[in-house]
Amino acid sequence: MEKYFDVSYLWEAFPVLLPFLKVTFLVVGVSVLLGTGFGILLTMAKVGSSKILRKLANGYTTVLRCTPSIILLFLVYYGVPAIGAQFGLDLNQVDKIVFVITAFTLQFAAIMSEVVRSAYESIDKGQYEAGVSVGLSAFQVYRRIIVPQALVVAIPNFGNALIALFQEGALAYTIGLIDVVGKAELIIASNYDTHALEVYLALAVIYWVLSILIEQFFLKIEKVVGKGKRSMQTV
């Protein structure tokens, strides 16, 4: 009879799993870039003067906040090709990673729009007034006074959002993407579904260590750029 728990499976999983982090990082990296851009546009709509845009942006955020990642993934995975088909586009051959990135971009944008909005709103209106009163133009005030301060406020929340995305990204395997989780599933299948626990533990260690590294990294930047900043509130 085999051992219930064999630690050698755990050690052996690491070298096989780690190369697949590339895929995970690619998904996270591109989604963060695109999602931040889209999120800033959403924030501009939220704090802007157009009522319709504001409603739309807030509605978008609410809907995305209420949608489990896995549902969003499948909606994009099945929905986008179906919409494409209506316009005569065959999107069935498109790489799965594109759908994963699309889904997480949509989700990250919703989160980022709130991160950026709360950072923007945390800056006292007096900072703007003081800026124009010393003769800066509105654009100069934003670039030199508002944005640098808002960034400091946004950094911890941005870090949290990034870690959340990194972890939600683990669900990409459900539509068949072979990232680090997908590879773990493949290893387990090749072991005839035995010793799953060891492989999952290896997976957990990888995520855990990386999450801590990301967290520490953001604490560092926060310290570096936090000069002159009053104590900040983050949750």
> Which burial class, exposed, middle or buried, applies to 2 when counting CB atoms under 10 A from its CB (0-12, 13-18, 19+)?
exposed
| Three-point CA angle 9, 10, 11, nearest 5° | 95
Residue 114, interface with other proteins (CB under 8 A)? no
Residue 133, interface with other proteins (CB under 8 A)? yes
Residue 217, interface with other proteins (CB under 8 A)? no
Range in contact with other proteins (rule: CB under 8 A) among 28-36, 49-57, 94-102, 138-146:
138-146
User: Minimum distance from CB of 45 to other proteins (Å)?
Assistant: 21
Binding residue for other proteins (CB under 8 A) from 7, 65, 189, 220? 65
Listed in sequence order, the residues at least 6 apart from 174 whose beta carbon sits closer than 8 Å to its beta carbon are: 70, 73, 74
| CA nearest neighbour of 165 among 213, 217, 101, 221 | 101
Residues 162, 29: Cα–Cα separation, whole Å? 9
Range in contact with other proteins (rule: CB under 8 A) among 9-17, 44-52, 64-72, 103-111:
64-72
Binding residue for other proteins (CB under 8 A) from 149, 154, 158, 161? 149
> Which burial class, exposed, middle or buried, applies to 122 when counting CB atoms under 10 A from its CB (0-12, 13-18, 19+)?
middle
Residue 216, interface with other proteins (CB under 8 A)? no
| Three-point CA angle 101, 102, 108, nearest 5° | 80
Give the C-alpha distances (Å, rounded to integers) separating 98 from 27, 88, 177: 9, 19, 10
Closer to other proteins by Cβ: residue 37 or 234: 234
Range in contact with other proteins (rule: CB under 8 A) among 6-14, 26-34, 78-86, 95-103:
78-86
Range in contact with other proteins (rule: CB under 8 A) among 26-34, 36-44, 46-54, 81-89:
81-89
Up-side HSE of residue 39: CA atoms within 13 Å toward CB?
27
> Which DSSP symbol is given to 195?
S
Which is it for the CA torsion 159, 160, 165, 168, positive or negative? positive
* Interface mask toward other proteins for 5-34; x: CB under 8 A: x-----------------------------
**Interface ranges with other proteins (CB under 8 A):** 4-5, 62-63, 65-72, 74-75, 78-79, 81-82, 85-86, 88, 92, 124, 126-127, 129-138, 140, 144-145, 148-149, 152, 163, 167-171, 181, 196-197, 200-201, 203-204, 207-209, 211-212, 215, 227-230, 235
